[in-house]
Structure 1
């Protein structure tokens, strides 16, 4: 893989990762609710899910899902249901669980935050199909492919982690404006609507 090809991949992935989506919304909302430091566990979960999905795609799972629409639909429905459930949960929070509420914070262990981030990150099977179609465009067939996949996956992860941290820092700053219960309620409901919208979009997806 030439330096030119790698730069093209890195720039493309950088802007793709920065596009608002379930992972970034999750990092933002977690930072608002439990603080930036604690939300890093959720970010780690999102990043782990991305790594897992990319490795599966490199192993050919993405092509398998594309070839088996029914299996893809099962995974898609499960992911969409989880995102919609998150949206409903956020809507029903109605201003509760603010950063300054110790009882709410104590209910989020690092493992729970990590698990939640992982489930959000892995909920979109379209990522597998995207990676399966996207990665080969940057692979030089004349050279060993495994080292190239390692470089591409590492680059993708670095871009994703950068944006997760940036959104998380944005959430920390936003938390200072959400000290009033009414304002926090609006944030929770807007977050809920976006999660439900992501779930509906996923339901409408096709291979």
Structure 2
């Protein structure tokens, strides 16, 4: 892979990964509630979910989603519903940093939450199918280029997830006042509602 293409990919990916979305919002929320070390399980789930979506894209699901309006609609509505559910959980937490019916206190449960949130966004499949190939040169070995791009993407994505979780952990010190916790919970709930609504209204 040419150096200038790889550097351009890094610059674009740094910006895209840093943009708040379902995964980063979840890392901020879990980092605040459980600490950044406990949130590593959430990150592992989210990264595994992205890896699965990228694999599905490689097998042609991106083209299927791009062609099938019905399938895309079903997947995005299911994903939006799950994000809204997370928003309801945050909203109901009130003045506690523990979520109602919180099963996220185990690493396995946090992993499942991260995995589910990552899989809830079918646009990630279209992202993998439309964005990544733009940096692939057809005249060079394909496998090596994909390895470089995917390795770079997951390193950058992981770094931003750690940054969001660490930011949430620092925010926890400010949230020791019950009134501030309520504001935080409702802000997270509203953010999940907004992201879920944006996903529901998103076009391919």
In structure 2, do the counterparts of structure 1 residues 198 and 106 end up closer, same or farther at CA, with 3 Å as the change threshold? Answer: closer
Render the CA deviation track for 1:116-152: whole Å, top value 9, x for unaligned: 0111111110111122111111111112212211211
- Judge conservation of contact 1:97–1:105 (CA < 8 Å) in 2: no
Q: How does 1:129-144 map to 2 (within 5 A)?
A: 129-144=126-141
- After superposing the two structures, state which structure 1 stretch, 126-135 or 158-167, moved more: 126-135
- Indicate the residue corresponding to 2:117 in structure 1: 120
- Indicate the residue corresponding to 2:43 in structure 1: 43
Q: Alpha carbon RMSD of aligned pairs, Å?
A: 1.8
CA distance in 2, matches of 1:29, 1:106: 15
**Offset at 1:115?**
0.4
| Deviation beyond 6 Å, 4+ runs, structure 1 | none
CA distance in 2, matches of 1:58, 1:6: 20
In structure 2, do the counterparts of structure 1 residues 164 and 107 end up closer, same or farther at CA, with 3 Å as the change threshold? Answer: closer
CA distance in 2, matches of 1:35, 1:166: 12
- Indicate the residue corresponding to 1:31 in structure 2: 31
Q: TM-score w.r.t. structure 1 length?
A: 0.93
CA distance in 2, matches of 1:182, 1:144: 57
CA distance in 2, matches of 1:12, 1:174: 28
- Indicate the residue corresponding to 1:158 in structure 2: 155
SS in structure 2 opposite 1:37?
coil
- Judge conservation of contact 2:97–2:181 (CA < 8 Å) in 1: no
Aligned length: 204
**Offset at 1:59?**
2.2
SS in structure 2 opposite 1:140?
coil
- Indicate the residue corresponding to 2:67 in structure 1: 67
Unaligned runs of 5+ in 2: none
CA distance in 1, matches of 2:56, 2:39: 26
- Of 166, 169, 172, 1:169 maps to 166
Q: TM-score w.r.t. structure 2 length?
A: 0.94
